[in-house]
Amino acid sequence: MEIRPMAEKDIEQVWNMENEIFTTPWSMNSFESSINSMDNIYLVAEEEGDIIGYCGLWGTIDEGQITNIAVREDRRGQHVGNKLLETLIEYGREMGLNAFTLEVRTSNEAAINLYHKFNFEDSGIRKDYYQKPVEDALIMWLRFDYND
């Protein structure tokens, strides 16, 4: 498995996975514009030409808003998400980001456990943040000391 920056050639596979996993998927145009912004980081996990996972963040000054982390269903539980998140944080730190935030469905225990493993802290709830089905989001933060 190789973790690398997302390229235009990956968007169709990423978009297909997005539509399989999420009830309110992003459009192809959203991925295209996101990977073309210099402040953003988008990565894919690739194995033998197949995209098995992807993740991304939007960078603003010294913070990164993690927008999505997704792993193909048949590859879950095989540490793909773990490696994607680890690499995303490394890239972010290299860009000078000192804090990372995200929202996650309160029912998504697997994702919450992954984020806790990386020392993300629960910091609040966004009521009815998700649709299809309506559900609250847990807001999580990972902060680094400026001297780290």
Q: What is the pLDDT of residues 33-76, one digit of tens each?
A: 999 999 999 999 999 999 999 999 999 999 999 999 999 999 99
- pTM for this entry: 0.91
Largest CA distance in the chain: 42
Token pair 């690739």 is at which residue? 46
Q: Is residue 142 part of a domain?
A: no
Catalytic residue check, 103: yes
Distances from the Cα of 64 to the Cα of 13, 31, 135, angstroms: 24, 17, 23
* Domain-located, residue 112: no
- Given 46, 54, 91, 103, the catalytic residue: 103
Q: What angle do CA 108, 30, 83 make, to 5 degrees?
A: 45
Q: Is 63 a catalytic residue?
A: no
Answer whether residue 125 is part of any domain: no
- CATH number of the domain where residue 61 is located: 3.40.630.30
The number of folded domains in the chain is: 1
Provide the domain limits for residue 41.
2-102
Residue 146, pLDDT score: 63
